[in-house]
A = this chain, B = another copy of it.
Amino acid sequence: MSRQSTATPSSITEAVSDSVADTPPSGVSFVRGTRRATTPASDDGVRARLREIVGDENIIVDPNRFEPYSQDAVKEKFAPEAVVFPANAVEISAIIMLANEVGFPVTARGGGVGYTGGAVPVEGGIVIGTDRMNRIKEINFDDLCVVTEPGVTTYDLQQAVEAEGLFYPPDPSSYKESFIGGNIAENAGGIRCAKYGVTKHYVLGLEVVLPTGEIIKTGGRTTKNVVGFDLTMLMTGSEGMLGIITEATLRLIPLPEATRTVRATFRTMREACECVPALTRARITPVALEVLDARALEVVEAAGVLKFPEDAGALLLAAVDGSVDEVEKDGRQVEEILRARGGFDVERAASVEDEQRLWDVRRSLSSAIKRYGTLKLNNDLVVPRSRVPELIERATEIADKHQTFVVNFGHVGDGNIHVNFMCDREDAEAIARTRLCVKESFQAAIDLGGTISGEHGIGYVKAPYLSMALSPAEIETMKRIKHALDPRGILNPGKMFV
């Protein structure tokens, strides 16, 4: 099978997450972006065999119904040749064996709300929808774990375990739509990671269908397990290129009793960021630690959500969790530290309603930002947390240089900042300038000791930039692993490597 990639720098695009664009920015219309007209997945004989595997009612071959399975949050469309909805690992194994036999690409799809095209069939072939594999099989309080199929939304999983007094911390902002299988495949993050770590820190074991069709169980249901190479960790974050996750056993912790949020504005981003090590010095590890830059505050004000003091140049949201007593005590201390470091207009939540209200500013951003452009290039840069002020300064300088509007906000507790360059989806010249901003901001993150993706992954969208972040030897090592496990290049071709 050819593994000609279709990714181009033009595809580094991310739409405003909750709007569907009719005309994708890179001019890709609703056809596959591949140079190959069809693959064997379009053959009637092959489709008949797929039908046998999953049943008539679980396959889509009508091109008019492909659109929802052709895209993710990037909103660029690459049509599959068929979409199948298997019930279990055995059916997925049969599909992949067929793919190896006759040669067509297979792309697994969860909620389909990624930001780098991981679930998008850029080289055609078939999409495997995991929608039917949506059972939570077991929540085990004594063993502090949950066993789940991949097609459960992260939100539903969280609700289910919280009902048992347990807690699954990773919380990507797409959690109401994204499937836990996709979260594992992308090693998703979120706002609680500075305290609790990312998805991979909660994956104990997996059932995976390999690119050759073999089904393996990796890891188990214990945190300690040193039997062989850590395939669980290799599969986690492998973006559907090394295997398809059909079951996961996830580590849980006791649900914290309460959270307490403190919000403060600062004259400068540097002042806001200097609170971060100050909190560490006080032995406080907030569950969330979010900053918004001056532009973000302008955006929120312009939308009429909130009015900030005139000299507010940055905003910090800090939340602690733990027992009721602890959050009371830590909340007070956070407030003191923020005030001592120049925070003003400080508010500490006194009720659950307060908590909600204090977070409005953050929540309103995604919607408020839309008036600054119809196309948002949202990049999840990450730097060591001490370098966050510099990253935001550089991103702003880059945007100014290229006459582009930028809004920076994100997770200062773990150095993961969303740098959002805004432009007009119809303005080719503005898009070109904005793409320059993206590339230069990637370089800035790397120069500051960070990298080009903290949460979203590479997919086809960031593939052209992989070599900015990784050495040829590191990329070659990854390719060797890919080839060893997927010699025919069946699983999710056209991603990560260009």
Digitize A190-222: 1 where CB-to-B-CB distance is under 8 Å, 0 elsewhere.
Answer: 000110011011000000001000111110111
A46 at the interface (CB under 8 A from B): no
Interface residues of A in 441-498 (CB under 8 A from B): 449-458, 466, 469-471, 473-478, 480-485, 496
Is A230 a contact partner of B187 (Cβ separation < 8 A)? yes
Residues on B with C-beta less than 8 A from A187 are 226, 230
Interface residues of A in 109-130 (CB under 8 A from B): none
Is B474 a contact partner of A218 (Cβ separation < 8 A)? yes
- Pick the interface stretch among A77-85, A338-346, A353-361, A377-385: A377-385
A349 at the interface (CB under 8 A from B): no
Interchain CA distance A474-B470 in the complex, whole Å: 28
Interchain CA distance A145-B454 in the complex, whole Å: 17
A474 CB to closest chain B CB, in angstroms? 5
Out of B221, B230, B470, name the residue touching A233 (CB < 8 Å): B230
- Pick the interface stretch among A61-69, A148-156, A275-283, A303-311: A275-283
Digitize A215-246: 1 where CB-to-B-CB distance is under 8 Å, 0 elsewhere.
Answer: 11110111111111111011011100110000
Is A226 a contact partner of B453 (Cβ separation < 8 A)? yes
A87 at the interface (CB under 8 A from B): no
Out of B236, B281, B480, name the residue touching A230 (CB < 8 Å): B236
Out of B227, B473, B483, name the residue touching A466 (CB < 8 Å): B227
Residues on B with C-beta less than 8 A from A227 are 451-453, 458, 466, 469-470
A325 at the interface (CB under 8 A from B): yes
**Interface range, A side:** 35 or more
Interchain CA distance A484-B224 in the complex, whole Å: 27
A414 at the interface (CB under 8 A from B): yes
Residues on B with C-beta less than 8 A from A165 are 281, 283
A186 at the interface (CB under 8 A from B): yes
A92 CB to closest chain B CB, in angstroms? 14
Digitize A50-79: 1 where CB-to-B-CB distance is under 8 Å, 0 elsewhere.
Answer: 000000000000000000000000000000
Interchain CA distance A456-B226 in the complex, whole Å: 7
- Pick the interface stretch among A6-14, A97-105, A253-261: A253-261
Q: A242-B229, A480-B485 are in contact. Are A414 and B234 (CB under 8 A)?
A: no
Binding site for B on A (CB under 8 A): 140-145, 165, 186-187, 189, 193-194, 197-198, 200-201, 210, 214-218, 220-231, 233-234, 236-238, 241-242, 253-257, 276-277, 280-281, 283-285, 323, 325-326, 329, 382-386, 411, 414-416, 449-458, 466, 469-471, 473-478, 480-485, 496
Name 25 interchain pairs, CB-CB below 8 A, sorted by A: A140-B384, A143-B384, A165-B281, A193-B224, A197-B223, A198-B223, A216-B471, A220-B451, A222-B414, A222-B451, A224-B414, A224-B415, A225-B453, A227-B466, A227-B470, A228-B458, A228-B475, A228-B496, A229-B237, A230-B234, A231-B474, A231-B477, A325-B329, A480-B485, A481-B485
In the complex, the 9 A-B pairs of residues with the closest C-beta atoms, listed nearest first: A233-B233, A224-B454, A484-B484, A142-B386, A143-B384, A214-B473, A480-B484, A254-B283, A142-B277
